[in-house]
Amino acid sequence: MPVSESWLTDVAERVDEDWPRLATALGLTEADVAHISGTIDTGTQAHATINSWLCSGSDDRPATHDELQRALRLIGREDIIAQCMPPPSAAVTDNAPVRPFPSTTSRTSFDSCMCHV
């Protein structure tokens, strides 16, 4: 079962100013972080970070619940896991792929999916 947009939004809102550290923990490059920092409104940089990670998932390293939890633990944000991670019954497996925010996310100012970051 894909993760809901509202769940991803909750995670992004709680990450807030820790988004550059989360970006690094999720494997985004310094160039990705610089692009997000320089072109995305401050209030939506965490959303853009998560969306970029979701879009960058590959067969070798898919964007999964486990990967997001690992990254949040790495940056010391276990509080977000406790507050936002869906209960076990909400996902088929802990490794279920997650989907990007739609391009028309009402709570962000995205013009389109950030897959090009």
Instruction: Tell me what the mean pLDDT of segment 8-14 comes to.
Output: 88
**Number of folded domains in the chain?**
1
DSSP 88: G
Residue 116: inside a domain, yes or no? no
> CA–CA separation, 47 vs 40, rounded Å?
10
Of all residues in the chain, the percent with pLDDT exceeding 90 is 41
Residue 87: inside a domain, yes or no? yes
What is the tens place of the pLDDT at every residue in 74-114? 999 999 988 886 655 454 444 555 555 443 333 333 333 44
Domain that holds residue 23: 5-107
**Cα→Cα distances 40→26, 34, 81, 113, Å:** 18, 10, 25, 12
Domain at 74, CATH number: 1.10.533.10
Residue 28: inside a domain, yes or no? yes
Residue 74: inside a domain, yes or no? yes
**Residue 107 identity:** R
Q: What is the pLDDT of residue 58?
A: 66
Residue 117: inside a domain, yes or no? no
Q: Which pLDDT band holds residue 55 (cuts at 50, 70, 90)?
A: confident
Residue 114: inside a domain, yes or no? no
- Global model pTM greater than 0.85: no
Chain centroid to CA 90: how far?
18
